[in-house]
Amino acid sequence: MKLPSKRAQLALSSAAAALLCLSLPAHAAGNVERGGDVFDAQCAECHSVKANKNKKGPTLFAVIGRKAGTVPDVVYSDAMKASGIVWTPDKVEAYIANPKGVVPGGKMKYDGKLNAQENADLLAFLATLR
Ligand code: HEC
């Protein structure tokens, strides 16, 4: 058997390194399917993903880009209605990490602690709801 030359080995390992870099973007990329699982485990008790279907909390259908406190027929806290927030992925991430910190006087009771990957997955999933 002929062993690959040093040069061939070097070429192979730099190709592998390049592939590794491509698969590791600077920010953890969200996985929509796993984000759906995070949603089911963490949010579905109080939130639906269907338009016009509210539970204890407002529907999260089309939440990204929406102005806070504006789903019809939802009884929001005054704090949420007055918050002036427009829900971007960053805002949602900050809110679920600390609901009462981001909307003092708000009424969402959630104290889950998601790691960076779970957050990225959940946000990728929420962005598909439109
Ligand atoms: C125990 C119930 C409960 C859980 C669990 C919960 N929420 Fe909420 N959520 C609420 C309630 C109630 C409100 C309305 C808050 C207010 O009016 O102050 C709300 C509001 C929101 C809003 C603002 C929506 C709008 O129309 O302005 C977002 C975004 C949100 N929740 C995201 C989430 C996400 C994402 C999760 C899961 C990680 C989650 N929530 C888990 C009850 C919950």
Domains and CATH numbers, the chain: 30-127 (1.10.760.10)
How far is ligand 1, taken at its centre, from the CA of residue 108, in Å?
5
Kindly state the average pLDDT of the residues 64-88: 98
Residue 69 has pLDDT above 80, yes or no: yes
What pLDDT is attached to residue 13?
65
Instruction: Indicate which atom in ligand 1 lies nearest the CA of residue 58.
Output: 26
What pLDDT is attached to residue 53?
98
Rounded to two decimals, what is the model's pTM? 0.84
Cβ atoms of 127 and 64 closer than 8 Å? yes
What pLDDT is attached to residue 122?
98
Residue of 42, 47, 54 to mutate, ligand 1, most atoms within 8 A of C-beta: 47
The residue assigned the tokens 């390194």 is 17
Question: How many whole angstroms separate alpha carbon 70 and alpha carbon 3?
Answer: 67
Kindly state the average pLDDT of the residues 3-11: 66
The set of residues, in sequence order, having a beta carbon less than 8 Å from that of 91 and lying 6+ positions away, is 85, 102
Sorting pLDDT into bands at 50, 70 and 90, what band is 10? low
**Ligand 1 environment, Cβ below 6 A:** 42-43, 45-47, 56-58, 60, 63, 68-69, 71, 76-77, 79-80, 87, 92, 95-96, 103, 106-110, 112
Residue 33 has pLDDT above 70, yes or no: yes
Sorting pLDDT into bands at 50, 70 and 90, what band is 3? low
DSSP 29: P
Cα–Cα–Cα angle for 60, 39, 102, rounded to 5 degrees: 60
